[in-house]
C-alpha cells in the first residue's frame, strides 16, 4: 500500500527525518476535529448570522482542514475573524485555543491516564508500524526530529508515554503561546543554518501539507501519511489529495509496510 507519486525519487541523501506528530505517529488526539468544529459552530450560531448549523459546519470544516498541520492558534485566528465578519465580538484567539484544549482533554483524558499508568499498550495509540519505521531510520544513522502544531508540553509528554522519546531525545518541538517564535519551517532553517545538514538531506513524514511543503521547499523528499484515523487501515482520500498537492513523493496509510517502504525510499 505504498503509492509512488514521483518515480525515481529517493532518500539516499537523507541524514535527517522530520516527523509531524498527531496523525503521523500518535493517535492519542484522534477525533480532535469532532471537538474543534462543533465548538466553533456553537459559538458562531450565537452571532445570529442567519446561516444554518449545516452551513456553518461546512465553512468551519473548510478552514480547519486547510490549516491543519500549522499551529492550533492559526485555526483560532481564522475563527476569530469569522466571528468578527458576522458582527460578533471575538475573544483573543489564545482564549479560544485554551477553550478547545479544555474540551479536547475531556475526550482524551482516559487515553493519557491509561498510557501513564501502563494500563494501555502504547501500540493502541500509535499509527501502525511507527516503531518499526523509527527503528529502521535509526539503524541507518538518520537523526529524527519531531515538530508539531500541538503545544510543546503536550507533544513532549505524549511522545514520552508512547515510548517515542528515545528516538527523538531532545529533538521534540511543539507550538508555543508566542506562536511566531516557532514553526516547522523555522526548525528546518535552524538545522540547515547550524551547518549540520543541507536541505537535500531531509526526509519528511506527515499527514498535513505543512511539513511536506516545508521539507520539499528546501530540496528534501517527503512521505505523506494519509491515515484513515483511528483504524489507519486504508488511505483517507481527502488527506491524500492534500498531500499530493503539497508535493509528497510517496503516500502510505500507515507504516505496517515498513520493510517495503524502506526499500522504496532507500533504493
180 and 51 inside one domain: no
Per-residue pLDDT of the chain (267 residues), as tens digits, is: 899 999 999 999 999 999 999 999 999 999 999 999 999 999 999 999 999 999 999 999 999 988 888 889 999 999 999 999 999 999 999 999 999 999 999 999 999 999 999 999 999 999 999 999 999 999 999 999 999 888 899 999 999 999 999 999 999 998 887 778 777 778 888 888 875 788 889 999 999 888 899 899 999 999 999 989 999 999 999 899 999 999 999 999 999 999 999 999 998
* Integer Cα distance of 60 and 34 in angstroms: 11
77 and 110 inside one domain: yes
52 and 23 inside one domain: no
184 and 205 inside one domain: yes
- The CATH code of the domain that includes 208 is 3.40.50.1000
Give the angle 215-217-222 at the CA atoms, nearest 5°: 35
22 and 145 inside one domain: yes
State the pLDDT at residue 111: 98
Domain holding 63, by residue range, is: 33-116
State the pLDDT at residue 195: 59
State the pLDDT at residue 100: 97
53 and 101 inside one domain: yes
192 and 150 inside one domain: yes
Instruction: Count how many domains the chain has.
Output: 2
Sheet holding 143-151, edge to edge: 3-4, 250-252, 221-225, 202-206, 16-19, 143-151, 172-175
Q: What is the DSSP string of 145-171?
A: EEEEEEEHHHHHHHHHHTT-HHHHTT-
State the pLDDT at residue 185: 77
Q: Is the dihedral of CA 23, 25, 30, 35 positive or negative?
A: negative
Amino acid at each position: 500500500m505504498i503509492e509512488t507519486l514521483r518515480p525515481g525519487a529517493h532518500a539516499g541523501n537523507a541524514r535527517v527525518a522530520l516527523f509531524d506528530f498527531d496523525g503521523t505517529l500518535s493517535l492519542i488526539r484522534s477525533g480532535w476535529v469532532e471537538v474543534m468544529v462543533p465548538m466553533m459552530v456553537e459559538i458562531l450560531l450565537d452571532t445570529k448570522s442567519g446561516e444554518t448549523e449545516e452551513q456553518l459546519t461546512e465553512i468551519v470544516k473548510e478552514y480547519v482542514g486547510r490549516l491543519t498541520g500549522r499551529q492550533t492558534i492559526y485555526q483560532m485566528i481564522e475563527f476569530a475573524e469569522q466571528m468578527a465578519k458576522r458582527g460578533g465580538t471575538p475573544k483573543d484567539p489564545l482564549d479560544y485555543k485554551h477553550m478547545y484544549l479544555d474540551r479536547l482533554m475531556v475526550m482524551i483524558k482516559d487515553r493519557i491516564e491509561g498510557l501513564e499508568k501502563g494500563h494501555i499498550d502504547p501500540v493502541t495509540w500509535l499509527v501502525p508500524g511507527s516503531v518499526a519505521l523509527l527503528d529502521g531510520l535509526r539503524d541507518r544513522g538518520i537523526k529524527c526530529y519531531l515538530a508539531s502544531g500541538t503545544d510543546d508540553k503536550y507533544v513532549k509528554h505524549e511522545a514520552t508515554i508512547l515510548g517515542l522519546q528515545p528516538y527523538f531525545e531532545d529533538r521534540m518541538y511543539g507550538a508555543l503561546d508566542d506562536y511566531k517564535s516557532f514553526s516547522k519551517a523555522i526548525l528546518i532553517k535552524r538545522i540547515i543554518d547550524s551547518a549540520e545538514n543541507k536541505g537535500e538531506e531531509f526526509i519528511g513524514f506527515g499527514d498535513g501539507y505543512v511539513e511536506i511543503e516545508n521539507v520539499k521547499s528546501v530540496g528534501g523528499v517527503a512521505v505523506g501519511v494519509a491515515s484513515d484515523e483511528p483504524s489507519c487501515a486504508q488511505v483517507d482520500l481527502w488527506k491524500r489529495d492534500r498531500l499530493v498537492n503539497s508535493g509528497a513523493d510517496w503516500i502510505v496509510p500507515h507504516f505496517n509496510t515498513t520493510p517495503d517502504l524502506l526499500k522504496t525510499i532507500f533504493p
